[in-house]
Amino acid sequence: QEERDKGKTVEVGRAYFETEKKHFTILDAPGHKSFVPNMIGGASQADLAVLVISARKGELETGFEKGGQTREHAMLAKTAGVKHLIVLINKMDDPTVNWSNERYEECKEKLVPFLKKVGFNPKKDIHFMPCSGLTGANLKEQSDFCPWYIGLPFIPYLDNLPNFNRSVDGPIRLPIVDKYKDMGTVVLGKLESGSICKGQQLVMMPNKHNVEVLGILSDDVETDSVAPGENLKIRLKGIEEEEILPGFILCDPNNLCHSGRTFDAQIVIIEHKSIICPGYNAVLHIHTCIEEVEITALICS
């Protein structure tokens, strides 16, 4: 109801769909600047990002200028670990655009230099395509409105993407996104590596609680085991809901994740007005965890 009242996405929405070859989980991340932390939480669970850009005159420019969310979201997607980016240039059916190849190329020319600066390889990591979300043109089937576009429509393109490399034999790592009570304690998250099965004994880090997996839901369907890459709901025994915080990690008892209070970090400063120096306080987003940190020293290489 809050999202309807405000006319914008607030929380990360979830939905599922299948193509002929693949099964996808959609994470609809907030676009408004007031909900950037929620957007980061969504991006941290994604393998692939879809950046929706408006081709309407003035709207791309507004979103891309300093302070606009297009720039920030592209940068956050990259730093959250997203390796492949699809840029949907939407509203191509708008009267100010009228499926203009010239406007499409203009949008690309404005975006590519910044995406390259952020760390995406324009030739390998980014794919542009025109579309109309209102009419569905070029989403599922090739559109006659853009004969100049050489490439697959959106859904067939997703269907033909190569499979992502998954660490099936790696240590169990499931960062917690959210938790709630429902006939026990239920946690939500994406299994990053390893595999989990019903009845398995795990450890919740960093508080080192021993827990048992009572049930697993993958895309809201109950299952006995799951492989990495799946977004899950897991019902646990041995821990209370209030003892868990977003950012905690479910681990293999024989291979726990490291925890610590100090670390070295390599950072990239995109836009920042004040001076960063020892004693500077910031908010750190790492996987699904959000923590206040202090910079104690600057190490120049």
Q: Which of 167, 170, 171, 169 is nearest to 256 (CA)?
A: 171
Q: Are strands 209-218 and 196-197 parallel, antiparallel or unpaired?
A: unpaired
Phi then psi dihedrals of residue 14, to 5 deg: -125, 140
Tens digit of pLDDT at every position of the chain (301 positions): 444 443 444 455 778 888 888 888 887 765 445 445 555 656 667 788 899 999 998 888 787 766 667 777 787 788 777 888 999 999 999 999 999 999 999 999 999 998 998 889 999 999 999 999 999 999 999 999 999 999 999 999 999 988 877 778 899 999 998 899 988 899 999 899 999 999 999 999 999 999 999 999 987 889 999 999 888 899 999 999 999 998 899 999 999 999 889 999 888 776 677 788 899 998 888 877 888 999 999 988 6
Cβ–Cβ contacts within 10 Å for residue 226, how many? 21
The residues near 79 (Cβ < 8 Å, ≥ 6 apart) are 268
CA-CA-CA-CA torsion sign (230, 84, 40, 155)? negative
CA distances from 5 to 2, 10, 198, 293 (A): 5, 11, 40, 34
Nearest Cα to 78, choosing from 119, 25, 125?
119
Burial 154-171 (b: 16+ CB within 10 A, else e): bbeebeeeeeeebeeeee
Predicted local distance difference test score (pLDDT) of residue 219: 78
Coil vs helix vs strand at 13? strand
- With a CB cutoff of 8 Å and minimum separation 6, the contacts of 51 are 70, 73, 74, 77, 85, 86, 87, 88
Q: Which of 229, 63, 265 is nearest to 280 (CA)?
A: 265
pTM: 0.75
The H-or-E segment that residue 5 falls in is: helix 2-6
CB-CB contact of 131 with 92 (8 Å):
yes
256, two tokens: 């726990």
Residue 241 burial (C-beta neighbours within 10 Å; 0-12, 13-18, 19+): middle
Domains, the chain? 2-159 (3.40.50.300), 173-251 (2.40.30.10)
Query: How far is 190 from 224, CA to CA, in rounded Å?
Result: 16
